[in-house]
Amino acid sequence: MNDAARKETAAAISSDLYNGPLSRLTIDLDAAARNYLFLKKELGPETDCAAVVKADAYGLGAAEMSRALFAQGCRHFFVAHFDEALAVKAALPADKAPGNDIAIYVLNGPHGAAAADFIAAGGVPVLNSLSDISYWSDAAGIAAKRLPAVLHIDTGMNRLGLNGTDVARLAADAGALQALDLRYVMSHLACADEPRHPKNPEQLALFRALAAQLQKPFRYSFANSGGIFLGPEYHFDLVRPGAAIYGINTTGGTVNPMQPVVRLQGRILQIRHIDRAGTVGYGADDAISPPAKCATISVGYADGYLRRFTGRGSVVIDGEKCPVIGRVSMDCIVVETTSLKRQPQIGDYADIIGGGQTLEDVAAQAGTIAYEILTELGHRYKRVYEGSKA
């Protein structure tokens, strides 16, 4: 290569490609905090707002997210597994200053650790069955104190929680809950993001009826993100949003009242000028003919860019959509840039989520939901937390 050619090549490559990251996952903690406050504004003064931070806060980082939400006054956190409770606890202030009392509820129940360790860590299990109740009551006996717990009643998910028969048995046994300090009686909506679904009022009525059988006026928790938007009769004492905090639209409408929290960008590793007919990627089943231009981007299915995006996904370069061509590989994708007004340079960032393509758009491309796009986000991304509480 002569000097002129070398200079030209160097100029076409973004300066830090060789020493910078190959991707960037930006998580805006201030946006998450604003979303949390927005949800709180939907609630009456008697309703507390928890944060569901299970699955590493839907893939966004449970420690960072819990700290940011704690700073906004959140004191109730829901996880699915006991180990997740430990991670959240470790991330939050340990001092017992007034108002700093944190509760971490474990949705999948008192599993994953010996009861003594569960108690020592301060995890509050959600009891999903009569056997969970007797197990946790026995643990209370051994610990010689009433143990905190949440009781889960199933009102139509048929997934976790006591059914009607279980509730009737529990109601008939006056001493059954004696060993427990029941913080909440909860249930979970199956169709909360479909506001007109008849299942919503059905579940609400059943929740009221089953809870009434337990007589004692407990505190109640019913709504997830979508449930908050169904109206005040769904709110009770504690709501449990996850998705909406992370910017997902759970209203069932096309207008998303939440602010985007996630931006995902991959960098262009190579630019290709197609000068002979051929195919792109594994399987050689996506034909391309000259003249065409493509860019290879450093994100693949190992990063959670699902193989299902093959033939359906697109990225945004310079504000313009570029379709994925060929199959998604483990570490890269190829997109077609032929129609772009300005051709990108090697090292430029392409937006995979954000930059004009919403999380919902991206989920639709893969025929899935925004929740899954987030929880699949891979671990190779350079994570950048934005916001004052990071």
Ligand X SMILES: *Cc1c(COP(=O)(O)O)cnc(C)c1O
Active site residues: 54, 282
Scanning 90-98, 224-232, 252-260, 267-275 for contacts with ligand X by CB under 6 A, the matching segment is 224-232
- Give the integer Cα–Cα distance in Å for 140 and 4: 79
Nearer to ligand X, 127 or 288 (CB): 127
Nearer to ligand X, 245 or 268 (CB): 245
Q: Is 251 in the site for ligand X (CB under 6 A)?
A: no
* Nearest to 23, CA basis, from 365, 332, 387, 390: 332
Beta bridge partners of residue 52, listed in sequence order: 78
- Give the integer Cα–Cα distance in Å for 46 and 368: 36
Q: Is 67 in the site for ligand X (CB under 6 A)?
A: no
Q: Is 52 in the site for ligand X (CB under 6 A)?
A: yes
- Shortest distance, CB of residue 106 to ligand X, whole angstroms? 11
State the DSSP H helix or E strand holding residue 55, giving kind and residue range, or none if neither: helix 54-58
- Shortest distance, CB of residue 359 to ligand X, whole angstroms? 13
Contact (CB, 8 A) for 265 and 303: no
Q: Is 204 in the site for ligand X (CB under 6 A)?
A: no
- Give the integer Cα–Cα distance in Å for 117 and 110: 10
Q: Is 304 in the site for ligand X (CB under 6 A)?
A: no
* Nearest to 70, CA basis, from 56, 89, 55: 89
- Give the integer Cα–Cα distance in Å for 67 and 76: 12
Q: Is 235 in the site for ligand X (CB under 6 A)?
A: no
Q: Is 224 in the site for ligand X (CB under 6 A)?
A: yes
Q: Is 188 in the site for ligand X (CB under 6 A)?
A: yes
Q: Is 32 in the site for ligand X (CB under 6 A)?
A: no
Q: Is 27 in the site for ligand X (CB under 6 A)?
A: no
Q: Is 243 in the site for ligand X (CB under 6 A)?
A: yes
The pattern of x and - marking residues 88 through 127 that bind ligand X according to CB under 6 A reads -------------------x--------------------
Nearer to ligand X, 25 or 107 (CB): 107
Nearer to ligand X, 106 or 214 (CB): 106
- Shortest distance, CB of residue 213 to ligand X, whole angstroms? 21
- Shortest distance, CB of residue 259 to ligand X, whole angstroms? 16
Q: Is 225 in the site for ligand X (CB under 6 A)?
A: yes
Nearer to ligand X, 22 or 79 (CB): 79
- Give the integer Cα–Cα distance in Å for 304 and 377: 5
Nearer to ligand X, 52 or 322 (CB): 52
- Give the integer Cα–Cα distance in Å for 217 and 185: 10
CA distance readout (Å), 84 to 71, 87, 108: 20, 5, 11
List, in order, residues 6 or more apart from 347 with CB less than 8 Å away: 13, 14, 15, 16, 17, 20, 267, 268
Q: Is 76 in the site for ligand X (CB under 6 A)?
A: no
- Give the integer Cα–Cα distance in Å for 79 and 96: 21
State the DSSP H helix or E strand holding residue 89, giving kind and residue range, or none if neither: helix 82-91
Q: Which residues bind ligand X (CB under 6 A)?
A: 52, 54, 107, 188, 224-226, 240-244, 250
